[in-house]
């Protein structure tokens, strides 16, 4: 029988999510990869246990995570009830809908029909009465924004989610969505954008400024740029890496000689700070107080432990920040 580390809440810092009453751990665990039916379930269990033992209370899913789609929620639900059922009130569990989940016109995008049906399916897979956060996963160019936001409001009023969030919304879209949700009486809790040293549109597009102004939390995903901001690509492209798999989200064509040079120079700077490249990349995001939590994905417990060590040093000197900017602007 699993017994959680009694000292878990002294292992990690917690940050308030915007102007809400909710706090999230500085690092949250995403189940986008490595928790599907194709993965070793004992490894999944060990990663979840290590996370919670170190104070990570937030586990982030989506309807289509796997593979196959839905399997991450099923596997998480099974482990949740085997190991964490007595800790449910200590957990923040989130899921999403917005990408293709089933055939036909009602299994994708942002209609009320899709969002309500998808969450009902997610709750069944995880054997839960509610999730803590439910996100719309991406904007729908064809469904009126009012319909999508009204669906999120309905889901909260039905008691199927405590809070709602947005993911992958650009600033102009997010501005309208936040206004609608606030007018409905269900303000947006959090936004989940893609953000890393190599992808900084949320700075340039003004999203971080908007979230700060509106009192909305921010939890970036892909903070390690699909593994590019780790030691995996320091010497080229490993055969077992995501970049070597043509069907993956990271393509081999993205690992250019210029990008490799950047990775190597950033790694040297991380070593000077006494960190791994991954630790520095996470710390670089967390240095911004507008960031509530950073969402990591790992395939083994050692990677999770390495990421947790990034919290030991999240401060940067002006010279270090300048050096990072020089490297990033060199491409």
pLDDT at residue 291 greater than cutoff 90: yes
Share of the chain above pLDDT 70, in %: 94
Among the listed residues 242, 254, 190, the one whose alpha carbon sits nearest the alpha carbon of residue 220: 190
Rounded to 5 degrees, φ, ψ at 27 are -120, 130
CA separation for the pair 216, 152 (Å, rounded):
16
Report the Cα 267 to chain-centroid distance in Å: 23
Domain edges within the chain:
8-227+285-312
- The predicted model gives 311-328 an average pLDDT of 97
Please name the residues in contact with 164: beta carbons below 8 A apart, sequence gap of 6 or more.
Answer: 133, 134, 135, 136, 152, 153, 155, 156, 181, 186, 188, 189
Separation CA 218–CA 212 (nearest Å): 9
DSSP-based three-state secondary structure for 199: strand
Please compute the mean of the pLDDT values over residues 112-122 and round it to a whole number: 98
Whether the CB-CB separation of 135 and 143 falls below 8 Å is answered with no
What does pLDDT average to over the chain?
Answer: 95
Whose structure tokens read 């081999």?
Answer: 252
Residue 113, token pair as written in the block: 């029909």
Work out whether strand 23-25 and strand 14-16 pair parallel, antiparallel, or are unpaired.
Answer: antiparallel
Going by C-alpha positions, the residue among 314, 282, 316 that lies closest to residue 296 is 282
User: What number of other Cβ atoms are within 10 A of residue 104's Cβ?
Assistant: 7
* pTM (predicted TM-score): 0.94
Mean pLDDT of 181-203: 98
Nearest to 98 by CA among 35, 38, 165: 165
288's tokens: 């911004």
Report pLDDT for 232.
85
For residue 293, give Cα distances in angstroms to 27, 57, 311, 324.
Answer: 5, 11, 11, 21
Q: pLDDT tier at 263 (50, 70, 90 boundaries)? A: very high
The predicted model gives 14-40 an average pLDDT of: 98
pLDDT tens digits for range 201-249:
999 999 999 999 999 999 999 999 999 999 988 876 665 555 555 455 5
pLDDT, position 235? 72
8-227+285-312 in CATH: which number? 3.20.20.100
Residue 168's pLDDT is 98
What integer is the mean pLDDT of 90-103? 98
Residue 330: predicted pLDDT: 83
Can you read off the two tokens belonging to residue 48?
A: 């979840």
Cβ-Cβ contacts under 8 Å for 10 (sequence gap 6 or more): 55
Helix (H, G, I), strand (E, B) or coil at 134: strand
Give the model's pLDDT for residue 233.
83
Go through the chain and tell me how many residues it has.
331
* Residue found under tokens 């909710």: 22
């Amino acid at each position: 029988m699993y017994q959680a580390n009694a000292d878990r809440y002294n292992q990690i810092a917690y940050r308030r999510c915007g102007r809400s009453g909710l706090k999230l751990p500085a690092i949250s665990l995403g189940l986008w990869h490595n928790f599907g039916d194709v993965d070793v379930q004992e490894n999944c269990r060990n990663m979840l246990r290590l996370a919670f033992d170190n104070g990570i209370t937030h586990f982030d899913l989506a309807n289509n995570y796997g593979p196959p789609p839905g399997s991450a929620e099923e596997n998480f639900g099974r482990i949740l009830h085997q190991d964490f059922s007595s800790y449910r009130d200590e957990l923040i569990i989130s899921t999403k809908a917005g990408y293709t989940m089933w055939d036909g016109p009602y299994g994708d995008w942002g209609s009320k029909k899709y969002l309500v049906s998808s969450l009902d399916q997610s709750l069944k897979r995880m054997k839960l009465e509610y999730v803590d956060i439910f996100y719309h996963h991406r904007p729908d160019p064809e469904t009126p924004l009012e319909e999508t936001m009204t669906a999120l409001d309905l889901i909260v009023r039905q008691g199927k989610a405590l809070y709602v969030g947005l993911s992958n919304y650009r600033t102009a879209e997010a501005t309208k969505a936040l206004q609608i949700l606030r007018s409905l009486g269900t303000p947006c809790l959090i936004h989940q954008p893609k953000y890393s040293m190599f992808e900084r549109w949320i700075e340039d597009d003004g999203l971080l400024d908007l979230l700060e102004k509106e009192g909305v939390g921010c939890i970036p995903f892909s903070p390690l740029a699909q593994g590019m901001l780790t030691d995996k690509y320091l010497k080229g492209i490993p055969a077992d890496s995501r970049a070597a798999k043509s069907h993956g989200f990271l393509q081999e064509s993205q690992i250019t000689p210029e990008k490799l040079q950047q990775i190597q120079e950033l790694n040297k700077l991380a070593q000077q700070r006494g960190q791994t490249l991954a630790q520095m990349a996470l710390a670089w995001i967390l240095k911004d107080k507008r960031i509530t939590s950073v969402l990591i994905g790992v395939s083994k417990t050692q990677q999770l432990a390495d990421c947790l060590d990034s919290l030991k040093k999240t401060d940067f000197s002006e010279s270090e920040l300048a050096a990072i900017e020089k490297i990033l602007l060199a491409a």
